[in-house]
Amino acid sequence: MRSYSFFTIFLLCIAIVVVDVFAFYWLQSITTFLEADLLKKIINFAFWFFTIGLVTSILILKYRLDHISRQRKHLLITSLYGLAVSSFIPKLIFVIVISVLYFSNYVFSINEPAILILVIGLVAGFFPFFIISYAIFRSLYRFKVNVINLSFNHLPQNFDGIRIIHISDAHLGSFNYRYHIFDRAIDMINETNPDLILFTGDLVNNFASELEGWKETFLQLKASIGKYAVLGNHDYGDYSEWKSVEEKKENFEAIKNFYSKIGFQLLMNEGTIITNKNDKIAITGVENWGHPPFKQYGDLTKALQEVKDTSFNILLSHDPSHWPQEVIKQTNIALTLSGHTHGMQAGIKLMNKSWSPIKYKYKHWAGLYEQDNQYLYVNRGLGWLGFPGRLGMRPEITLIKLYKK
C-alpha cells in the first residue's frame, strides 16, 4: 500500500462501497422471503458492519502506514488484502450475474419467478467465496513434492541418479515467524534424501529482520553433497524506502551473510565445481536478471568463467525470462532452475494442460520446458506474496533426478 496514493486507496474504498450497495439491494430481494424480522435485521447489520469495518481499516492503515513496524505492516496489509478479495470478488460476481439474469429477456421471461433468478445469483456469489476461502485457509501451506526425471547423454557416469531438491521463493516474512508451518516442508525435503539442495532466490520479502529465528529451521536441511543458492529480486531491498544508502547496504549484507549461517553457498555471478571420483559437474549461479522494471544484476559471462571447461552445467537464475534471452543456444548449460513467478498462486490443471493468468506475462511460468536438449524448470515457490492464498498452484518442492542415457 506504500506505493499507492491516498487518493487511489480512497477510490478503491469507493469501489468496494458501490459494489456493496448493489449487492445489498439484491440481498433485500432475497431476505424478503424470510419471515423473521429479527433475522433480517441481523443479516443487514452484519453486512454493513463488515463493509464499514473493512473500508475503515484500509483507510486507517494507509494513514498510519509509516508508524507501523515493518513486519506488522506486512501482516496487516496482506490480511486486509485477503479480506478485500474474498469480499469484493464474490459480491461483484453476484451483482453481475443477478443483474444480467434479471434484466435479460433472453434468459428469463418477465413472468419468470424472481426467486429463481435470486437463488442463481446467490449461488454464483457464494461459489467464488468458497473457492477463495479454500485458497486462503486450506491450500496456502499444502506443500507438494513434484518429481522430475531427466536424462542426458553428457551427464558424467558417477553422477547418474543424482537427486536434486529445487526450492524457491520462500518469502519468509509472509510466514510471520510461524516456524512450525515451514517445518513441514523441511521434513518433506529431508525425506527425499537429496544429494543437492538448490534454492533460487527470494528468501525474504524485503528485510533482513524477517530472518529472525529461522536459522535453526534451515539448519535442519540435509544434503549429502551440498546446498547452494542465488538471490531473487526481493532480496536486494529495492522495494522499500531506506533512510540512507548505508542502511540498505547493511540490510543486503545481513541477508547474504545468513546463507553462510545456514550452510548454503551463495553464488553471486560465479560457479563452483562438484567432483565425484574423476567426474565433475558445475553449479553456476547468477544474481537476479529480469526484464525491466526488474533490475539486471546478473552477469552470466562472469559466472561461467571458472566452470567453462566443465561439460555438464546446472544454472541457478531466479527469473525464468533469463533462459530464452541468454542461456538457450548461447551456452551449453544443460539445466536451468528458476522461480519468481509463483505460478501467480492461481491456476488450473486439466489432464496434461495447465493455465494461469501469469502466462500472458511470462512465457515460461511453471514446470518443465525443453528446447534443443536444454531444460528449464520453473518452481512455483514455497511461500507467498501479496494475496495470502494459493488456488490450483500449491507451494512446491521439486525433486529432480538426473540420469545418464
- 144-404 has CATH 3.60.21.10 classification: yes
Stated as kind and residue range, the H or E segment containing 376 is strand 374-378
Residue 378 has pLDDT above 50, yes or no: yes
**Residues 17-42 pLDDT 10s:** 999 999 998 888 778 777 888 988 99
The DSSP 8-state label assigned to residue 264 in this structure reads: P
- 191: its cell numbers: 525425506
Say whether 367 sits in a helix, a strand or coil: strand
- 314: its cell numbers: 546446472
Q: What is the mean pLDDT of the chain?
A: 90
* Domain definitions of the chain by residue range: 6-137, 144-404
**Residues 172-184 pLDDT 10s:** 999 989 999 999 9
What is the model's pLDDT at position 2?
Answer: 45
**Residues 226-251 pLDDT 10s:** 999 999 999 999 988 899 999 999 99
User: Residue 156's closest CA among 331, 308, 278, 316?
Assistant: 278
User: Residue 266's closest CA among 301, 312, 218, 309?
Assistant: 218
Residue 109 has pLDDT above 80, yes or no: no
Residue 100 has pLDDT above 90, yes or no: no
pLDDT band, residue 188 (cuts 50/70/90):
very high
This prediction has a pTM of 0.87
Count CB atoms within 10 A of the CB of residue 225.
18
Q: Is 404 in contact with 160 (CB distance < 8 Å)?
A: yes
Residue 110 has pLDDT above 50, yes or no: no
Say whether 23 sits in a helix, a strand or coil: helix
Bond into 293 cis (ω within 30): yes
Stated as kind and residue range, the H or E segment containing 402 is strand 396-404
